[in-house]
Structure 1
Amino acid sequence: MVFKSLYPPLPQYPEANVYELFFNNPDQNALPDYTLYVDAESGRKFQRSEFKQRVHDAMTTFGAPVSNGGLGLSKEKGDIIGIYSSNCIDYPTTIISALSLTVPFVPLSSYSTHFELCHLLRTSKCTVLFVHAGLLQKALSAAKEVGLSEDRIFIIEGQVPGRKSLQDLLDETRKRGIPRELPRPAKKDTLAYLMFSSGTTGLPKAVMVSQGNLWYTVLSQLAVAAEDARVLETPPPQAPLVLLGVLPFHHTYGLISFCIRPMNGWATCVVVPRWKAEVVVKAIEKYRVQVLLLVPSMIHQLVHSGLLQKADTSSLAIINSGAAYLPPKVSDAMQKLARTARLQEGYGLSECARLVRDDGTDADIGEPGELWLGGNSVTLGYYNNPKATKESFVNGWLRTGDRFKTDGKGTFFFVDRAKDTLKVSGAQVSPTEIEQVLLGHPGKLISDASVAGVSGGRTSDELLPRAWVVLSEEGRKKGADAVLKELEKWTNDNLSSYKRLRGGLEVVSEIPKSPTGKVLRRVLQDRYEQKVKAKL
């Protein structure tokens, strides 16, 4: 069964560069000038008119021939712009300029280790790199290993003696009076950028996002906002909405929310370089933030930090959680602390959906199945990885790897990750269910938990459920051994026999997670298996 969106269908959109959508939109251009971006720490600002001028200068810097003083970048030459930086207000400048020139860009995680960064550079094959000053040495080391020339590395934020920055390049462009580069033609399937997957099940893969995907994403946002305003009878805004841009821009959630969507919305984005609970709370108060977009791990930290109890959060209207599963307990606690703000959850990529059984047939209403997505939000596939593309993209459908069930009325309920689901004695076991049971212990002995499959089953391919837990303050007082005994009894009393933790229980200092809050179960599994091998 195919479930279609309850929102009205989108209007037809042209085979054109998204520049047209961003800067030649009559409704957007009719707005009075306003602050588009502001750096939360320095207070540096860009008005929308100033930002547009900066984009045009950057387009010329990037696209003009080398003989004229530009970098001479083009998609025909195979150029790809890499961005290796924490959040900064010139991040959007760089990506909007690249899109306008149809030169693909690739955001690289600022949290990457040397090994990870080398993998990202090799996979994306980027030819130019813009780097935060504080990350330059790591970038130079990785670039040397993969063969990227040092003279193709520039500074996007900060200053480094002897190294040109984006600001230096823009100043030179203006000084030389280089003829303006114009937006270049694009089609719906023109590659816009590469976005690396989270790497929860292996090395990150580069997802190919098209210009058509971006048209659809922006128009979807406008349609949803219009429909929500109609249903909720929300009066038109009298001033720009204030968003807090703390999600990493190298992740699709942050990139779309703070670098793409603000181009077609009346909003001011307050940019926070990296997540720090204290900085975020201060920025909410100082800039009277109205919309707060977070991931579950951030919400968890805010709930347990004690900062919100003392803060003035009266400006907050919406808090959104996405990118990973938000446990109900954490959600309820945040809602109480947020007072008048509305806490809501989002799931990326939704237009048409199917729930599919393991055998490829459609699941019934109320029956768990893997979520498959279709529509113009589905990307082109994985860059230079036909095998992975074939596995995940099936006849126009994207296999998400997430299992849901539906009530048939348009509401979907998350069950777990399909790839995380275990088969024990022929029955399916959900790690998420076991985690919820552990976290539901009335003694509040743990603050976090993760469950994954480890070796030791009856057959070589059967994995046993094992739990890793982080002790709470109460748990530390009680002691690790006592807590593990209590949790074992608790799970045995509350779970069917085949769901019990026959792979064991272990106390850890923290659960490894990606910067966006996704639990890296494979890290825990690999550590365990390495210990087992070492004992043999």
Structure 2
Amino acid sequence: MTNLATNLTTTAAEHADKDALRVNGQGVTYRQLHAMAAKVAGTLRERGVEPGDRVAVILPNVPAFPVVYWGILLAGGVVVPMNPLLKSGEIDFFFTNSGAKFAFVWPDFVGEATKGAQNSGTVVVETGPMGPNDFEGGEPISEPTPRDDDDTAIILYTSGTTGRPKGAELTHSNIHLNALRSAQVIQTMTSDDIVMGCLPLFHVFGLVVGLNAATISGASLALIPRFDPAAAVEVIEKERVTIMQGVPTMYAAILNHPSSDGMDASSLRTCASGGSAMPLEVMKAFEEKFGCVILEGYGLSETSPVASFNMPDRERKPGTIGVAIPGCEMRCVDLDGNEVPTGEVGEIAIRGDNVMKGYWQNPEATAEAIPDGWFRTGDLATMDDEGYFTIVDRKKDMILRGGMNVYPREVEEVVYQHPDVLEVAVVGMPDDLLGEQVGAAVALREGSTATPEDIVAFTKERIAAYKYPRKVWVVETLPKGPTGKILRREVHAPAE
């Protein structure tokens, strides 16, 4: 196994007329997907993209995403998937840091991306539902450009709890093996399966466990451009979806949507959940209502992503994240990296063929994250005597809003740009639908006139929509430690 795109060429040869993608009742076969990707690869090469060059993708879940994803890989390039909701300042950092030569961008986001590309010189290519517009030239590249197992295939940016996001470098081997295990061990996926593609493809869960696993298996991926419970119900029924993957908020949204009451979910066999802890009530109610099984697992961008899962062939323990998958070892360690006794709380450390190569051009952060060959996750958990892990809390103050990571520090940096703000602490607030919501406690400068609504509006303009605080409250002062550092853990939202 060298280039990850070999999975596409193999499946396109074996299942040429099988639908690779389904969207709005229309199909794109593996033969068509391969041909379109080969054209993209040829044009990229013609325009100077060499093996190892980075190319960004800023697209929703439309057929164009797999087309350009496989096209970049066929040309030997490195894919840099980005959230379409990012603003120009954030895009500028991603483009500049990765050195992306091109970016395939959905029409609605071209303006923001073009602003964000001014410093990096990244060429923005407007991309419609089926592929890039006005992007022609070069001989199609239908055979994958040779790459080594350890060459970088994807750079996934994870927001930093301190400062700037870091790019996790995932290799061709990382992704291939994780997708293979996701397909075979966890979901027992075959070419007869219809997989629900409601997770964003720019996110590691949707990209690897969805798109890559489906491609390896010759399964069809039924895409929803943006998650919406009514659309999800319709797709499950119409496409006869057999495998669903989602974050807990998606399962809750489908469960509680009126149109799901009469839903024919008889085709649904396996559901995989990750991204945050699945509330047991939601799990039980979903399984009862739709007659399927939800398997819960755990992973991170840095672990390609899957590290542990409740396996179909083993006892399922609801409330746990299961056991380590093949090729991966997990343990709970103390601050010195020593394993803690069974049942005691420690930080999850991971070693195996799913662990990233490192952070892109950031050896210090890599050394800190993987000090001894074991990747430190920052998540606290216990392990029972059968090897099942239960997450206790996040070591860091990350807020998980609807399965999307929001890092308080990043939001605080933006709030601090408001001229009236003296101090701010961003914290997570419990939310029935999204798990957590973003809140901010703000101390204002003397004589200032800003209202909480002003600060919400100010932040909303400058940061991705899922990150800005939905609730801001004004305080006299923020709690601080002996060194004057704001103690985020002691900040709590007012009761109303």
TM-score over 0.5 for the pair: yes
CA deviation after TM superposition for structure 1 residue 359, in Å: 3.2
What TM-score, normalized to structure 2? 0.72
CA deviation after TM superposition for structure 1 residue 220, in Å: 2.5
Alignment pair present for 1:138 and 2:99: no
Distance 1:273 1:202, change over 3 A: farther
Equivalent residue for 2:17? 33
| Distance (whole Å) between structure 2 residues aligned to residue 376 and residue 20 of structure 1 | 19
Q: Deviations over 1:225-276 (max 9, x none)?
A: 5xx86xxxxxx96x62111111111110011133311221031111111111
Equivalent residue for 1:45? 27
Equivalent residue for 2:298? 347
User: 26, 35, 40: which is aligned to 1:58?
Assistant: 40
CA deviation after TM superposition for structure 1 residue 91, in Å: 0.9
Distance 1:379 1:268, change over 3 A: same
What is the 5 A alignment of 1:399-478? 399-420=376-397, 468-470=429-431
User: 448, 457, 477: which is aligned to 1:532?
Assistant: 477
Aligned-pair identity (%) = 24
* Amino acid in the other structure paired with 2:150: D
| Distance (whole Å) between structure 1 residues aligned to residue 211 and residue 217 of structure 2 | 11
Equivalent residue for 2:371? 394
User: 45, 49, 62: which is aligned to 1:73?
Assistant: 49
Equivalent residue for 1:18? 4
Distance 1:117 1:297, change over 3 A: farther
Q: Deviations over 1:130-155 (max 9, x none)?
A: 101121111122223x3425xx2112
Equivalent residue for 2:121? 148
| Distance (whole Å) between structure 2 residues aligned to residue 529 and residue 260 of structure 1 | 46
Equivalent residue for 1:186? 147
* Other structure's SS at 1:18 match: coil
* Other structure's SS at 1:81 match: strand
Residues 79 and 155, structure 2, Cα contact 8 Å, conserved in 1:
yes
Which structure is higher in helix share? 1
CA deviation after TM superposition for structure 1 residue 89, in Å: 0.8
CA deviation after TM superposition for structure 1 residue 193, in Å: 1.4
Worse overlay, 287-296 or 113-122: 113-122
Structure 2 unaligned residues grouped into runs of 5+: 300-305, 308-327, 401-405, 410-424, 434-455, 460-465, 480-496
User: 265, 284, 303: which is aligned to 1:332?
Assistant: 284
Equivalent residue for 1:492? none
* Amino acid in the other structure paired with 2:121: L
CA deviation after TM superposition for structure 1 residue 158, in Å: 4.8
User: 142, 162, 171: which is aligned to 1:210?
Assistant: 171
Distance 1:180 1:208, change over 3 A: closer
Alignment pair present for 1:290 and 2:245: no
Residues 213 and 377, structure 1, Cα contact 8 Å, conserved in 2:
yes
Distance 1:247 1:530, change over 3 A: farther
Residues 102 and 190, structure 1, Cα contact 8 Å, conserved in 2:
no
* Other structure's SS at 1:184 match: coil
| Distance (whole Å) between structure 1 residues aligned to residue 426 and residue 55 of structure 2 | 43
| Distance (whole Å) between structure 1 residues aligned to residue 159 and residue 276 of structure 2 | 11
CA deviation after TM superposition for structure 1 residue 94, in Å: 1.3
What TM-score, normalized to structure 1? 0.67
| Distance (whole Å) between structure 1 residues aligned to residue 270 and residue 178 of structure 2 | 20
Q: Deviations over 1:304-346 (max 9, x none)?
A: 33332232222222222111121222222322332x1111212
Report the count of equivalent residues.
403
* Amino acid in the other structure paired with 2:286: M
Alignment pair present for 1:169 and 2:142: no
| Distance (whole Å) between structure 1 residues aligned to residue 475 and residue 212 of structure 2 | 42
| Distance (whole Å) between structure 2 residues aligned to residue 389 and residue 116 of structure 1 | 22
User: 249, 255, 272: which is aligned to 2:224?
Assistant: 272
* Amino acid in the other structure paired with 1:46: V
Equivalent residue for 2:200? 248
Q: Deviations over 1:32-53 (max 9, x none)?
A: 731111223xx44211122222
* Amino acid in the other structure paired with 1:109: N
User: 343, 363, 378: which is aligned to 2:355?
Assistant: 378
Alignment pair present for 1:90 and 2:64: yes
Residues 15 and 30, structure 2, Cα contact 8 Å, conserved in 1:
no
Q: Over aligned residue pairs, what C-alpha RMSD do you find?
A: 3.5
CA deviation after TM superposition for structure 1 residue 373, in Å: 0.7
Residues 34 and 142, structure 2, Cα contact 8 Å, conserved in 1:
no
Which structure is higher in strand share? 2
CA deviation after TM superposition for structure 1 residue 466, in Å: 8.1
Alignment pair present for 1:157 and 2:128: yes
Distance 1:286 1:199, change over 3 A: farther
Distance 1:182 1:243, change over 3 A: closer
